[in-house]
Amino acid sequence: PLQEEDLKKVMRRIEEEMDRGLRLETHKEATVKMLPTYVRSTPEGSEVGDFLSLDLGGTNFRVMLVKVGEGEAGQWSVKTNHQLP
């Protein structure tokens, strides 16, 4: 079984590699390639409105419009899926 201290070492190593992947000067040799997301905050539960979700994976590009009303869970309004070449 994985010991807690070993797990913490793995977590630190992954975080270091992610940081290297984000830095311009170390990106080329980083084992985990990263791109900045420019997300400044995470949802806290009071959000209301229309939100666009973009998901670029290895084989698909998904676009989704999510409508969120006050006190409601989000409802998909439009969802498209495009296969990447």
pLDDT for res 1? 76
43 versus 13: which is more confidently predicted?
Answer: 13
Per-chain mean pLDDT for the chain = 87
| Residue-wise pLDDT tens digits, 57-79 | 889 899 999 888 887 777 777 78
Longest CA–CA span in the chain (Å) reads 46
What is the pTM (predicted TM-score) of this model? 0.47
The answer to whether residues 76 and 64 touch, using CB atoms and an 8 Å cutoff, is yes
11 versus 56: which is more confidently predicted?
Answer: 11
Does 12 score more than 90 pLDDT?
Answer: yes
